[in-house]
Amino acid sequence: MSLSVQFLSLLAMIGTGIGAGVFMDLIGTGVDATGKKSIIRKYAVPIEVVGWIVIGCASFYVLFIVRDGAWRMYDPVAQICGLLLYASVFHRPFRFVGRILNMLIIKPIWFIIRLVAKIIYYLYKVIVKIVSFLLTPFIYLYNKVYESLFKSDEK
């Protein structure tokens, strides 16, 4: 294996470390944003474990693409360097970009979804009220007939 391929694989492993930092920061931020009694907060540890498993699989996939899956001793060190690089250098810029994406993409989409859900809910309530208003005379007649049919004549 040439020196340039080893350097490229070292950069790839540092990149997976940075990606792992981003992904785990995303999971931690998502868990912190939920309420104290949320089901997400209740299962935070299993979610984080699944996150680490996904990171491990993605790292091996990158390793498989770069070096046909050949693992070297410096790969974990490179990934830890990537994690530390994310924590020291890339943490603030990634968080800034995340806040911008949240404001420009996620919040408007969430607003539209909630708006459509509320419109459907209010239409459902209006339809139910109209149908119950239209059925009121029939319900009244049914109750009168039902009472008269099953009255006992004996006293």
- Number of C-alpha atoms within 13 angstroms, CB side, residue 66? 24
The token duo for 46 is: 């299993």
Mean pLDDT along residues 11-35: 90
Q: CA 10 to CA 5: how far, in whole Å?
A: 8
Q: What is the pLDDT of residues 58-69, one digit of tens each?
A: 988 988 888 777
pLDDT over threshold 90, residue 53: yes
Asked if residues 14 and 79 have their Cβ atoms less than 8 Å apart, the reply is yes
Query: Quick one: DSSP state of residue 69?
Result: T
Residue-wise pLDDT tens digits, 6-22: 888 889 999 999 999 99
pLDDT confidence of residue 48: 92
Please, which pLDDT band fits residue 70 given cuts at 50, 70 and 90?
confident
List the structure tokens of 1.
Answer: 């294996």
Percent of the chain with pLDDT over 70: 95
In this prediction, residue 152 carries a pLDDT of: 64
Tell me: the pLDDT tens digits for 113-145?
A: 999 999 999 999 999 999 999 999 888 888 888
Q: Per the confidence metrics, is the pTM higher than 0.85? A: no
User: How far is 40 from 31, CA to CA, in rounded Å?
Assistant: 6
User: What angle is formed at CA 23 by the lines to CA 99 and CA 69, rounded to 5 degrees?
Assistant: 145
Q: Phi/psi of residue 118, each to 5°? A: -65, -40
